[in-house]
Amino acid sequence: MIRNHVVSRASNTSLSRRRLLQAGTAAGGGLILSVFLPFPNHRSQAAAEDGFAPNAFVRIGSDGQVVLTMPYVEMGQGTYTSIPMLIAEELEVNPQQVRLEHAPPNEKLYANPLLGVQATGNSNAIRGAWKPLREAGATARIILVAAAAARWSVDPASCRAQDGEVVHPPTGRRLKYGELATEAAKMPVPAGVTLKAPADFKLIGTPAKRLDAPAKVNGTAVYGIDARPPGVKIATLAQSPVFGGRVKSVDDAAAKAVKGVRQIVRLDDAVAVVADHMGAAKKGLAALKIEWDDGPHANLVTADVARELERATLGSGAVAQSIGDADKAMASAATKIEATYQVPFLAHATMEPMNCTVHMRWDACEIWIGSQAVARVQAMAAKAAGLPPEKVIVHNHLVGGGFGRRLEADGAVRAVEIAKHVDGPVKVVWTREEDIQHDMYRPYWFDRISAGLNEQGRPVAWKNRFAGSSVIARWLPPGFKDGLDPDSTEGAIDLVYDLPNFHVEFVRAEPLGIPTAFWRSVGPSHNVFVTESFIDELAAAAKQDAVAYRRALLDKSPRARAVLDLAAEKAGWGQALPKGSGRGVSLQSAFGSYQAYVAEVEVSKQGTVRVRRVVCAVDCGTVVNPDTVEAQIQSGIMFGATAALYGEISLKSGRVEQSNFDTYQVLRMNEAPAIDVHIVKSAEPPGGMGETGTSAIVPAIANAIFAATGKRLRKMPIDAGVLKQAA
């Protein structure tokens, strides 16, 4: 059960060595060993101040229980299974013996080495943890062995760690880790540790059972929305339907008369109904008569946003990458090809609607939430509550879908604003309609791209200028420098192809009247669609096979070429398909992983598209849990195919037009393609896998539609009207 593995911990626990040791003693089961964890890129002030301080990632109790304070959250990507494998591999314990605790908010201790902030995103949990957590396990193992050797007065080299014990083979003596924990705590910590060679891995690279699965199949898993502090009331809300609007007037007489409704909370730009249960809160909400002042964006339509972005691509932008002389090469090219591409705003539509439970007291605030970024929740909630951050206690929970939505703290802020008016704890639950209409959206992007081909059809010039929102500029301001951020351009630069004259510019253009945020596969969600569709256009213009054309440009990218070859072979590339069907390929290097996808689609006479099969070849470096890698590819494909087929958030009169799963459709079981995954064996460091499928599948589908129909789709989502055959 998840409750046995994951314990939510309050944020106000001191993390000093002394306090942890005391807490271990107080907990009764004996002393707790805290381990010094060497953390590259780790800027722990605690370590600096105490000189030789632990940072509390790993504790071993006298009962032998290994406790890992978990810096990343589980949102389906399998982190709760793969991270314990890293520690268990070096510590020589069964991963099932490793219990996880959500890390409390503390940027100094738990910052993700790649992001520099405490967050789970950008497919980097395994990439960030790969070295430090194996080192933590190895360090713990070495001092446990040292403790045993000291007790037996033998040379540590004559002892061995295995299955949670230290054994002394010459005498057959053995001691469990729990029996050694107290003494080990006093052992000197080795300055450096040697990690296992990949050939010696026992766990890494083998399929592991998900530790979070049992609780998720029997209904006991606890998500943020399941938090039930004693006396909790349930609230739901209506926010200004136009972003930036305000409440003009509220008639709440009918709402107050609803059985179970306790209170109406009026805010500047939202109204909440507080009730005994969500049924009463929703009924009360429906009975409210709210007049809105729509504010400055009352007439906004999506076309306005697109027009602004298109205009932005006509100017100049920040140069993201420039190789050779693209202008000169373009001028002398035999053929010039130009295109514009557009991708829409998208909602996250996590299955667990946005929610947050808050108990405001006069001097403190307690929060129950499922978040990808608890430190951000703490900081922003503190500001909203008018309290110092240390007075805000955050209990993190399982995340019922993140996809970037739960990197934001807007929901926690809103819940605090409501809770300030409520006595006792209140759980604020967004209806699905509010969740979709008050998301923070995947940005709309507009791309202007061109290439010059030589006589043989090979690209000699490549130019791309695209405009859209920089989420980093808002979310992590130091990450936006000189008009650029690393996310917006990923997938548009550092291409795997040999392109001698290459010039890419980014124009940051923030849309007014609609908030933007990270969305699964972030920058590549748009860049890979554009570049992989456009390279397909070049192949078609050169009258060459789409795979062969790409392959000829991959002399400098052997890993990319290997996945392309493998996908083409496994997909039966080049074999005939029935009329109306087609195969499309995409090749992607993003998040540290290489992938090639071949999608097979069927396009009906009415223009409806059915994705039948997807063949994937993946090189994600060292594989920690192959079952999770396969699951994430399957998942990313469904998520990306949903976006390609249906995904669009549009604005009319400043309002989001979509509201629930009828107007914001999601791929269903009867539409799901078959998926074949082929993983390339590799000793490279692990690459990210949580997002890669989402960006890679979209151009594969678009290119397959081109193969099936001859129609090039340069705007997502797929418009059946364009593909419909004349009667």
Partner 1 sequence: MAFNIKVNGNTQSVDVDGDTPLLWVLRDVLGMTGTKFGCGMALCGACTVHVDGVATRSCITAIESIGSSAITTIEAVGATAAGAKIQKAWLDREVVQCGYCQSGQIMSASALLASNPHPTDSDIDDAMSGNICRCGTYVRIREAIRQAAQSTGQGG
SS3 sequence, 287-301?
A: HCEEEEECHHHCCCC
Q: Write down the least CB distance from residue 716 to partner 1, Å.
A: 18
| Count of CB atoms situated within 10 Å of the CB of 414 | 23
**Smaller CB separation from partner 1, 669 or 726:** 669
Q: Write down the least CB distance from residue 401 to partner 1, Å.
A: 5
| Residue 439 contacts partner 1 per CB under 8 A | no
Q: Tell me the window of 45-53, 292-300, 304-312, 400-408 that interacts with partner 1 (CB under 8 A).
A: 400-408
SS3 sequence, 416-434?
A: HHHHCCCCCCEEEECCHHH
> What is the number of alpha carbons within 13 Å of residue 677 lying toward its C-beta?
20
| Count of CB atoms situated within 10 Å of the CB of 626 | 15
Dihedral angle over CA of 276, 282, 284, 289, nearest 10: 150
Q: Tell me the window of 39-47, 187-195, 603-611, 671-679 that interacts with partner 1 (CB under 8 A).
A: 671-679
Q: How far apart are CA 301 and CA 513, in angstroms?
A: 10
| Residue 230 contacts partner 1 per CB under 8 A | no
Residues 6+ apart with CB under 8 A from 333: 451, 452, 453, 454, 460, 461
Tokens at residue 430, please? Answer: 């967004």
Opening angle at CA 189, ends 184 and 191, nearest 5? 160
Tokens at residue 617, please? Answer: 């070849």
| Residue 214 contacts partner 1 per CB under 8 A | yes
Q: How far apart are CA 404 and CA 472, in angstroms?
A: 12
Out of 67, 234, 546, 696, the residue judged to bind partner 1 by CB under 8 A: 234
**Smaller CB separation from partner 1, 631 or 679:** 631
Residues 62-91 that bind partner 1 (CB under 8 A): 74-78
DSSP secondary structure letters along 21-63? HHHHHHTSS--EEE-----TT---HHHHHHSS---SSEEEETT
**Smaller CB separation from partner 1, 216 or 714:** 216
x/- site string to partner 1, residues 112 to 131, per CB under 8 A?
Answer: --------------------
Q: Write down the least CB distance from residue 250 to partner 1, Å.
A: 22
DSSP secondary structure letters along 67-78? EEEESS--SSSS
Residue 234's Cβ-count burial label (10 Å; 0-12, 13-18, 19+) is buried
Q: Tell me the window of 83-91, 96-104, 321-329, 669-677 that interacts with partner 1 (CB under 8 A).
A: 669-677
Task: Tell me: cis bond preceding 717? Omega within 30 of 0 counts.
Answer: yes
CB 522 within 8 A of CB 471: yes
x/- site string to partner 1, residues 575 to 594, per CB under 8 A?
Answer: --------------------
CA separation, residue 537 to residues 461, 544, 597, 666 (Å): 14, 10, 17, 29
Size of the site for partner 1 (CB under 8 A): 67
Q: Tell me the window of 140-148, 224-232, 492-500, 645-653 that interacts with partner 1 (CB under 8 A).
A: 224-232
CB 486 within 8 A of CB 472: yes
| Residue 210 contacts partner 1 per CB under 8 A | yes
**Smaller CB separation from partner 1, 228 or 307:** 228
| Residue 688 contacts partner 1 per CB under 8 A | no
Q: Please, what sign has the CA dihedral across residues 63, 69, 70, 74? A: positive
| Residue 203 contacts partner 1 per CB under 8 A | no
Q: How far apart are CA 439 and CA 102, in angstroms?
A: 25
Tokens at residue 399, please? Answer: 């995340």
- Helical spans, DSSP H, in 73-166: 79-91, 107-110, 125-152
DSSP secondary structure letters along 384-413? HHTS-GGGEEEEE-B-S--TTGGG--HHHH
Q: Write down the least CB distance from residue 80 to partner 1, Å.
A: 11
| Residue 175 contacts partner 1 per CB under 8 A | no
Q: Please, what sign has the CA dihedral across residues 627, 633, 637, 638? A: positive
Out of 346, 381, 429, 611, the residue judged to bind partner 1 by CB under 8 A: 429
Out of 269, 276, 565, 569, the residue judged to bind partner 1 by CB under 8 A: 276
Q: Write down the least CB distance from residue 97 to partner 1, Å.
A: 19
Out of 280, 547, 564, 603, the residue judged to bind partner 1 by CB under 8 A: 280
| Residue 722 contacts partner 1 per CB under 8 A | no
Q: Tell me the window of 108-116, 211-219, 313-321, 498-506 that interacts with partner 1 (CB under 8 A).
A: 211-219
Tokens at residue 110, please? Answer: 């738990």
DSSP 209: -
| Residue 374 contacts partner 1 per CB under 8 A | no
| Residue 282 contacts partner 1 per CB under 8 A | yes
Residues 615-634 that bind partner 1 (CB under 8 A): 627, 631, 634
| Residue 715 contacts partner 1 per CB under 8 A | no
**Smaller CB separation from partner 1, 32 or 614:** 614
| Residue 48 contacts partner 1 per CB under 8 A | no
- Helical spans, DSSP H, in 517-582: 522-541, 546-551, 558-571
Out of 221, 367, 392, 618, the residue judged to bind partner 1 by CB under 8 A: 221
| Residue 635 contacts partner 1 per CB under 8 A | yes
Q: Write down the least CB distance from residue 242 to partner 1, Å.
A: 23
| Residue 674 contacts partner 1 per CB under 8 A | yes
Residues 518-557 that bind partner 1 (CB under 8 A): none
Residues 252-271 that bind partner 1 (CB under 8 A): 258-260
| Residue 212 contacts partner 1 per CB under 8 A | yes
| Residue 220 contacts partner 1 per CB under 8 A | yes
Out of 400, 523, 621, 654, the residue judged to bind partner 1 by CB under 8 A: 400
**Smaller CB separation from partner 1, 375 or 629:** 629
Q: Note the residues at the interface with partner 1 (CB under 8 A).
A: 74-78, 209-210, 212-223, 225-226, 228, 234, 258-260, 276-280, 282-283, 349-353, 398-403, 429, 431-432, 627, 631, 634-639, 642, 660-662, 666-670, 672, 674-675
